[in-house]
Structure formats: structure tokens, C-alpha cells
Amino acid sequence: MAEEAWTIGKLLKWTEEYFTKAGIDTPRLDGEVLLCHVLNKERIHLYVHFDQPLTKAELAQFKDCIRQRVQHKPVAYIVGHKEFMGLDFNVTEDTLIPRPDTEILVEAVISRLQTGRENTGIIADIGTGTGAICLSLLNYLTTLRAVTVDVSEKAIAVARENAERLGLSERVEFFQGDLLEPIRGRKFTAIVSNPPYIPEGDIAGLDVDVKEYEPINALSAGTDGLDFYRRLVAEAADLLTEDGFLAMEVGIGQANPVKALGESHGWGQCEIIKDLAGIDRVVVLWKQK
């Protein structure tokens, strides 16, 4: 008797059970995303082709994806891309995977750049990773220009690739270097950053998916997680136009300490914006008029 074929429906069911036993948080979703990757189809395709059998080559590739996922490699690194702000970004293990929380920062920056200005001008994105923040801003604000900085040359290469894929290369410059160092002497309407903010001592307690796979220099930020905010808050005002602002994503419990840093460095108004879970997620410091 011929071996029973692995159809899409059967494979999804099997994978969901296998991932559940392996302690994967979103077993059904991950199985679907990986299968879409192998078949090069949208998720809806799976549901209208439940009885479609996989070819031997597809099955082999899918098994390889499953093997990686049960070792807790994040789905985005297996498939090589991640959706953020409705756009598709290439990701590699040299870049942080863009998080939904960071969309709060992008939205806050869009609304502030659009209000009370004739020209959105030029912004700087510090610690750009995949370029998720600055490329989304450029995509939605069509007169905006941007410069980006990252300490990781490999991350810059991924961000450049994303700029090209999204057709945004002409409005963005890339610099490898330490925080504001490569762009000193210039002026920006806004400086935006999702810097590393995890206290060193908390790294060991992170999910395996994060601590074993995501770049440590995208996450770890000194003993209290505030190292990058100290430097940005101390140095960014000189690089802003008179109506400029510094907008930063912060970790849990960090908004008030960052606000206090702003007060001690003579910034003007401070805004704190919550994420969808009600956690203070973004701090905006306005340059003192």
C-alpha cells in the first residue's frame, strides 16, 4: 500500500501537537507561517488547500524548519523576514526582530512630526537594526529624510537591503558607529531610538528564543538597563532643531527614570505614552525652548 500522503491539513495538525509538546508558545501560528514560507504562499492558501499533498522537496524543507523551531530559533529568523507597520523587513541573526511594541514609538513620531510643522525635515534613528523604525517613518511620511546609525556593520547591511527593497534608499543615509558620534554637528527635527534596555542581570532570565538567538548588543544595557538613555539624554539636545524632540522606546519601569534624566539635563516638556498593554513604552523629550 502506498504511504499515506502528508497533506497541508494533516501536517498542520501534526506540527501543532509537536510544537505544543516542545513548549512553543504559538504552535498553530508558527506551523502555518513556516508552511507558508516553504510553499511560498499566503496563509489563506493553507485553508483552501487542506487536502493538497506536499512534494518530497517541500516536506524535507518543512522538516528542516520544524527542527530549527523546536530548538527555539525564532520563526522570523527561519523565514528571514518579519512584518512591521504593514511592511515586510528582512531580518538576520545580526538584527533584533522588530517588535509590535515598537510600532507605538513609530506612531508617536509620525503624529508629532505631522503636527505644527510645514516640513517634516530630517530625523536620526539611533540603533537602527533592520531599519524598521526609520524606514516605516520614511514610508509613511513621504517628504521625510533620515540618517541611521548602528554599531553593527552587519545590521547596517540588512537595513540598507531593506531600504532598497522598500524603494526608500534615496532618502536615507547609513552610518556605522557609536550612538551620536557619526552624526555630530548636524541638526534633526527628531532623534528616535529603541536602544538596548535590558539590565545585564536580566538577560539570563529571558526566553531561550531571545537570549540564544538575538544579538546581545541589541539587548543588554548595563546594570540597570539605562546606559543608553543616559548618553542619549545627555547628548541629543545639541543635535536637534529648536522645535525638535527625542523619542525613545523604554522597558518596563524605565519611563520615570528616563523622565527624571530629562529633567536633570534641562529638557522641556516630557510625554510618556503607553503601549496596548497599558505599560509606559515611549518617552518623548522636547527640546527646551
Of 33 and 210, the one with the shorter C-beta distance to ligand GLN is 210
**Measured at CB, which residue is nearest to ligand GLN?**
197
Binding site partner of 283, from ligand SAM, ligand GLN, none, Cβ cut-off 5-8 A by kind = none
**Would you state the torsion angle of the CA atoms of residues 147, 148, 153, 154, taken in this order, to the nearest 10 degrees?**
-120
Closest approach of ligand GLN to the CB of residue 202, in Å: 9
Using alpha carbons, select from 62, 61, 98 the residue that is nearest to residue 214.
98
Q: Are 27 and 15 in contact (CB under 8 A)?
A: yes
Of 227 and 235, the one with the shorter C-beta distance to ligand GLN is 227
Closest approach of ligand SAM to the CB of residue 179, in Å: 4
- Give bridge partners of residue 122 from the DSSP assignment: 145
Distance set, CA 198 to CA 96, 153, 252, 263 (Å): 13, 22, 10, 23
Binding site partner of 210, from ligand GLN, ligand SAM, none, Cβ cut-off 5-8 A by kind = ligand GLN
Binding site partner of 128, from ligand GLN, ligand SAM, none, Cβ cut-off 5-8 A by kind = ligand SAM
**Which residues lie near ligand GLN (CB under 6 A)?**
99, 194, 196-198, 210, 219
Of 24 and 155, the one with the shorter C-beta distance to ligand SAM is 155
Helix axes 8-21, 27-39, angle to 10 degrees: 140
**Which residues lie near ligand SAM (CB under 6 A)?**
96, 98, 102, 127-130, 132-133, 149-152, 155, 178-179, 194-196, 217-218
Distance set, CA 250 to CA 26, 89, 211 (Å): 25, 22, 19
* 181 residue type, one letter: E
Cα–Cα dist 278/92, whole Å: 30
Binding site partner of 261, from ligand SAM, ligand GLN, none, Cβ cut-off 5-8 A by kind = none
Closest approach of ligand GLN to the CB of residue 210, in Å: 5
